[in-house]
Amino acid sequence: MVGFNPFSNIPGVPTSQQLIDMAFGRASKISIELPSNRDPLLMAKLREIKRIKTVSSIISDRLKSIVNGMPNINSIHPFYRDLFCVMFDRDSYVKSLRNVSWASSMIMKLSKKYIREIRGVKNPREAAKLRRAFYGRVSSIIDDIEEDLKFLSNLIKLRRLPSIDFNIPIIVVCGAPNVGKSSFVKCVSTAEPEIAEYPFTTKNVSVGHIMGPYGVRAQIVDTPGLLDRPLNERNKIELQAVAALKNLKGGIVFLIDPTETCGYTLEYQLNVFKSVREFFADRILVIGLTKMDLASKDQIDNAIKLINYDKIYICSSLNCIGTMEIVEDILRSIGV
């Protein structure tokens, strides 16, 4: 199921110092295999040319593969674009890629120029001097893109974003902390859910897949730390992270724990519910009254009365009782 996240395979990015050390280190080990009686000037030219070619191709190829391995921010799905923009500055991304690409072609261009000049020198010392001059130019170009490389190296965090296929229905599971969201995902998933990360939450997001006869029928994602408290308590960046969830089209399961063993009162959970209902106003939403194995009849009746909603199921994410019925209801309602 990996591969839907456009950042899942982005390349690791070295620091400018690592890049320099790697290329210059390799070039310093170069030897020219020719009979020792050959012309020393020719030997020197060949050695310096080979060093330049080694440095330029190592650095230029690495930079090119970094640029080519990063997705075009304009063509990725808005869900991933929104998440990217919560975590990073979009203009800096575009600018960094442009600078790195410039550095790559500049180094190739310079290598051709210096190789041409070395071919025309009259003594070995001049050849070495030109090669050193080339190294100096390369170092200063790499210095120029130091910040860009640093910026791009931080993108590695994006590899762990959830992998979502937008051609398949998505069910989002919400509810206060500890109500059983991850357990619910596990209950209804055919295989072990994948564990992913989401910006500004310290908890893992689990992504499950519900298989049908023709492959994946639906995806189910939980949202720990996102839709688990009223939205008016959120700061701007958190709201942006929550807003990205709007791109997950499909149905919503909202879990309420009537036993309050999750650590949140029913009243608090209802406030979260109202907030989520408003946020996903146009979506199919089904409530799962969970922990039925623990709940008393009074707790259940009281919760149903207070919630006052037309689609409430009673379930347990511990025993996986009543969980699939909720999913089936949602899939039916969204026409799958």
Ligand X SMILES: Nc1nc2c(ncn2[C@@H]2O[C@H](COP(=O)(O)OP(=O)(O)OP(=O)(O)O)[C@@H](O)[C@H]2O)c(=O)[nH]1
Binding mask 61-100 for ligand X (x = CB under 6 A): ----------------------------------------
Which of 107, 92, 94 is CA-nearest to residue 142? 107
Smallest gap from Cβ 137 to ligand X, in A, equals 53
Beta bridge pairs of residue 287 = 254, 312
169 sits near Mg ion (criterion: CB under 5 A)? no
Q: Is 224 in the site for Mg ion (CB under 5 A)?
A: yes
**Please, what is the angle between helix 146-153 and helix 124-144, to 10°?**
50
Least Å from the CB of residue 224 to Mg ion:
4
Which of 20, 174, 179, 242 lies at the binding interface for ligand X (CB under 6 A)?
179
Strand partners, 211: 216
CA distance 334 to 283: 9
x-or-dash string of contact with ligand X, 281-310, rule CB under 6 A? ---------xx-xx----------------
* Residue 124 contact, options Mg ion, ligand X, none, Cβ 5-8 Å cut-off depending on partner type: none
203 binds ligand X (CB under 6 A): yes
Smallest distance from Mg ion to CB 290, Å: 13
Residue 27 CB, shortest distance to ligand X, in Å, is 51
Buried b (16+ CB within 10 A) or exposed e, 319-334: eeebbeebbebbbeeb
Contacts of 79 (CB under 8 A, 6+ apart): 164, 166, 244, 247, 248
CA dihedral for 236, 237, 240, 245, sign (positive or negative):
negative
Q: What angle do CA 192, 166, 310 make, to 5 degrees?
A: 80
Q: Which residues bind ligand X (CB under 6 A)?
A: 175, 177-183, 203, 222, 224, 228, 290-291, 293-294, 316-318
Question: Which residues here bind Mg ion, judged by CB under 5 A?
Answer: 181-182, 224
